[in-house]
Amino acid sequence: MKVCERYSRFNDEGYEVLYVLAIRTGLRRGELLGLRWSDVDLEEAGKLRVIRQLQRRRDGGGGVFFSPPKSGKERVIRLTPPAIDALKRHRARQGEEKLKAGGLYEDQDLVFATEKGTPLDPPNIDRRSFKPLLERAGLPNIRFHDLRHAAALPWGASQGGAGDTRAREYQPHP
C-alpha cells in the first residue's frame, strides 16, 4: 500500500490534503499552513506559489503570524495530478464548511483553516492529528518535517532517480 493511501485511509479529520501535499510537494508545515487559495492554480497551470509561511509566536504571547518562507524567496511548485484532485475535493469541502458557519466564518482565503476560517496552530496539527494518525495507521513515529524529505522517494524509484529533470520539477527540496 502506498504511503499516501495509508495516510488517507486512517484520516478522518479532514487533513488528508495537508498530508498529500506534504508528501507530494515536500513543502514545510508552515508553508502549507500559509497557503492561500489565491496562491493555487488548479485549472490552467496546476501550480502553487509559496510566498509565506505560518509561524507560531515564540515570545510567550501566543498566536500565529505570517512571514516570508524560510528561504526568503518565492518559489513555484508544480502539482501532481493526485495533489490537484485532493485540493479540488478540499476546496469543495471547505466551501460547505463556510456555508455551515455562516457569518461566523472569518474568510482569510486560507487553504488550511479552522472551522471558523482562522489560521491553524502548527503544533496542534502534530498533537491532535498527525501523531494520532501515524499511530492508527501503524506507521513509524516521525516528525511532520520528515514528510518533506520523503517527498522525493517515489520519484527516485519511478522517474529514474534524482537526476531526472521530470522528477525535479515537482520537488522543491533535493
pLDDT averaged over every residue in the chain = 81
Q: What is the DSSP letter of 127?
A: I
Domains and CATH numbers, the chain: 3-168 (1.10.443.10)
d(CA 97, CA 171) in angstroms, rounded, equals 31
Higher pLDDT, residue 162 or 131:
131
Pairing verdict, β 47-50 and 53-56? unpaired
Pair 151, 64: CB distance under 8 Å: no
Q: What is the pLDDT of residues 62-118, one digit of tens each?
A: 788 888 888 888 999 999 898 899 999 999 999 999 999 999 999 999 999 998 999
Residue 152 has pLDDT above 80, yes or no: no
Dist. CA 11–CA 9, nearest whole Å: 6
29 pLDDT above the threshold of 50: yes
* Residue 103, H or E segment: none
38 alpha carbon, distance to own chain's centre:
15
Q: Is 74 left (phi over 0), alpha (psi -120 to 50) or beta?
A: beta
**Does 9 or 24 have the greater pLDDT score?**
24
- Listed range (8-12, 123-127, 144-148) with the worst mean pLDDT: 8-12
CA 1/CA 126 separation, integer angstroms:
23
